[in-house]
Amino acid sequence: MTTTQILKLDDPAQQKQPGALRTIGRMIRVIWSNNKAKLGMIILALFILVAIFAPLLAPYGAQTNTFERNADASPAHWLGTTAAGEDVLSQLIYGAQVSVLVGFVAGILATLVAVAVGLSWGYIRGFGADVIGFIVNLFLVIPALPLMIVIAAYLQNGGFGVIIAVIVVTGWAWGARVLRSQTQSLRGRDFVTAARFSGDRAGRIVFREILPNMTSLIVGSFFGAATSAILAEAGLEFLGLGDSSIVSWGTILYWAQNSNSLLTGQWVLLFAPGLCIALLAMSLTLINFGVDAVSNPRLREGTKK
């Protein structure tokens, strides 16, 4: 064996990268082996593809309103038209872009805040932990929906940024508390004690030693946050607290309610976006079953007890 090969084997970067790739591959295989998670991944992939290729899939523009108003389903308009003369199917396809974007962006940001707060809260001791605990418990005690409505009403018509900010502010506390409990459990492990005695700083111990052992929990927290974000975005838009000029599943429900769609027989305006919201949220929940199986082998399907 040459000196170059020995140096490559001793290089931490050369050792950690294959291990990380194998870990990610193993997680994906375990998640895919779960039938519920597999169904959720297929549904989620369909919605993502629809959101990406919406301009190609939609028969008309999202806000094209030159058609007959309140028209029933026909070969030209498979789901009919709205009270403003817009094609319902086209709006439904374009609406997937908003829900997928808001769900993933808000879910990622809420998870990042939860990870930073939860790991710091679980590792440190003393007055700093008490302050963080007070803030987290305050957000947990305050009802999320009323707080979300108040903030969104105060910052009304702010666009995507405001909706995402409101969801992140009200959706990080639960994940932080869960991660804090796991961090406290890992804090007393031998490898953490060894890192502490070797002189590693607290930040390196938290994010290099403890964090990699919480991957499945963090991924599960992300899917939970993304599910809550999708439902919250649709709820705020339905209440008229978002930007009513954009096309999303929530705004379709909002305008359908304003035009009394049920009284005019346009029930599809409420049923179709509601079904899409439910399916997208359900897909993330189903994937969470596979994520749980990553951290708990007893939950894996097809394994012997």
One-letter identity of residue 286: L
Burial 205-217 (b: 16+ CB within 10 A, else e): bbeebbbebbbbb
From CA 29, how far away is CA 33, in angstroms rounded? 6
pTM of the full structure: 0.81
Tokens 């702010």: give the residue. Answer: 158
Query: Please, are residues 198 and 215 in contact by the beta-carbon 8 Å criterion?
Result: no
Q: Identify which of 259, 266, 273, 176 has the alpha carbon closest to the alpha carbon of residue 231.
A: 273
Show the CA angle centred on residue 111, arms to residues 107 and 112, nearest 5°: 120
The per-residue pLDDT for 159 is: 67
The per-residue pLDDT for 281 is: 92
Which region among 17-26, 52-61, 98-107, 210-219 has the lowest average model confidence (pLDDT)? 17-26
- Is residue 45 scored above 80 in pLDDT? yes
Residue with the bigger pLDDT between 174 and 27: it is 174
How far is it between the farthest Cα atoms of the chain? 81
- Is residue 276 scored above 80 in pLDDT? yes
Specify the DSSP class assigned to residue 71.
P
List, for residues 175-196, the tens digit of each pLDDT value: 898 898 888 888 888 888 888 8
**φ, ψ of residue 87 in degrees (nearest 5):** -75, 125
Query: Please, are residues 106 and 236 in contact by the beta-carbon 8 Å criterion?
Result: no
- Is residue 109 scored above 90 in pLDDT? yes
- Is residue 11 scored above 60 in pLDDT? no
From CA 189, how far away is CA 192, in angstroms rounded? 6
Map out the domains of the chain with their CATH numbers. Answer: 30-53+88-304 (1.10.3720.10)
- Across the range 9-15, mean pLDDT stands at 42
Q: Residue 9 — pLDDT band, cuts 50, 70, 90?
A: very low
- Is residue 15 scored above 70 in pLDDT? no
Tokens of 232: 């919250």
Integer Rg of the chain from CA: 24
The per-residue pLDDT for 280 is: 93
Specify the DSSP class assigned to residue 73.
P
Beta bridge partners of 87: 81
The per-residue pLDDT for 10 is: 44
Contacts of 297 (CB under 8 A, 6+ apart): 303
How many Cα neighbours within 13 Å face the side chain of 43? Answer: 19
- Is residue 6 scored above 60 in pLDDT? no
Grouping H, G, I as helix, E, B as strand and the rest as coil, residue 173 is helix
Give the chain's mean pLDDT: 82
Tokens 């058609």: give the residue. Answer: 67
- Is residue 125 scored above 70 in pLDDT? yes
